[in-house]
Chains A and B, each alone.
Chain A
């Protein structure tokens, strides 16, 4: 075999787990907020804590404010991940969520 400078071969090193497994839940690092055209805004005065928006959210981007109890919980929106589908506003029985157009930052 001739002497080849293997280091001269183009290559980028990358750390990965053999077989391609990964610890669960790492997708939180991937932000999907810029998919959004409208943002849901929760009116906590109208929110009765029924949690319908939470159970119908495909993301989940509805965060329960009370995660310990076994009773009603009001909610807030995870604006890092909410894609603005509007299902939460649609299913809210007290119309406590408004869809507000995202402002374009110039």
Chain B
């Protein structure tokens, strides 16, 4: 059923970084603490522009490092204020310690991650090595496929985060999304302001009755806090769905845990995260013309992992082509494939899984590459195999 959008929208031609900055501004953020790093820098610059011109209601703190960016966000969130930051790559790695503090303290906040490769060798281009290094930090991890989705998911992120008291990271592919201008249908400041409301400010550092935060837990209590975090992120599924639904009613843009394309009758399904999903979808028709029933499932959520939705979408497929843009060194499979296989095992399902490490450090991936991989995976082979694929050569 089509839902009519309820608000006026402004069609703008902006980059993913610009879109994210606008989302933070419109979400009535109280504090942005951030440090520049390619390819996230433009987000910080835009927010500074807004602040310089009185268009930003909150405080912009240009900190001296990403570690301090996350630390300041934690301080701000402890007061109950709404906080936002953005980072990438080395910056995310540098704030790694604080990611655990933010989630362990059960603090709501939103962070945009302009996904980029990690040192060494130095590479400023896109892959998912940065966020996969932080995948177990207790954050809700969402992935955007285009600038508009990044904008939408940042706005939704505040509502989700404040509903479940967990931090939310919105991932967008560095350069591919952060630096490419696209059409974004922006909601009005008023509509976003009304959608996000104000944070509830429960149990804060500024409460009348003094409270202590960030205490030390000895072996008698520590594990209970960890189990509490696991319950919270598992329990966040309903909250995320509800926010996505409500946002859909407002904007007529529907998101969910997964986006399935021609998967219902597919024999080979490519499973992926991020912006190359569009490239893969574009290759489906041509692949099908070769007689290979291809489909694509991209994930909007990575944590909590949408196992049930994913398995439902690939029910009829014999082969899953799981595409990883990061490496889990020495593991059986790379991060996404490990999750997919764990989901299959839990459900008692056995399918052929082809795990492809690709697109590292910005390595190209074209429609031809997608077709080539679909063709390869459609042939009989072992139940599991894993290899590196170097795309970019045309057929």
Contacts and interface: CB of A to CB of B under 8 A. Distances in A.
Interface of A: 1, 14, 16-25
Given A14-B221, A18-B106, A18-B165, A23 B211 contact: yes
Contacts of B105: 19-20
Interface of A is mostly: loop
Contacts, number: 46
A3 B191 CA distance: 47
Interface in B156-172: 165
A24 B228 CA distance: 22
Most buried by B among A1, A18, A20: A20
B364 interface: no
A16 B213 contact: no
B210 A14 contact: no
Interface of B: 104-107, 165, 203, 209-215, 217, 221, 224-225, 228, 232, 346
23 contacts: A14-B224, A16-B225, A16-B228, A18-B106, A18-B165, A18-B228, A18-B232, A19-B105, A19-B107, A19-B165, A19-B203, A20-B104, A20-B105, A20-B214, A20-B217, A21-B211, A21-B212, A21-B214, A22-B212, A22-B215, A24-B210, A24-B211, A24-B212
Contact of B203 (A14, A16, A21, A24): A21
B210 A20 contact: no
B107 to A, nearest CB: 7
Contacts of B107: 19
Interface of B is mostly: loop
Contacts of B232: 18
A21 B225 contact: no
A19 B258 CA distance: 30
Nearest to A15: B224
Contacts of B215: 20-22
A21 to B, nearest CB: 5
A25 B210 CA distance: 9
A19 B106 contact: yes
A16 B224 contact: yes
Contacts of B213: 19-21
A95 B34 CA distance: 57
Contacts of B224: 14, 16
Nearest to A26: B212
Contacts of B210: 23-25
Contact of B104 (A1, A16, A19, A25): A19
Nearest to B107: A19
A14 B165 CA distance: 20
A6 B85 CA distance: 40
Contacts of B165: 18-19
B77 to A, nearest CB: 10
Nearest to B105: A19
A17 B212 contact: no
Contacts of A25: 210
A9 B221 CA distance: 18
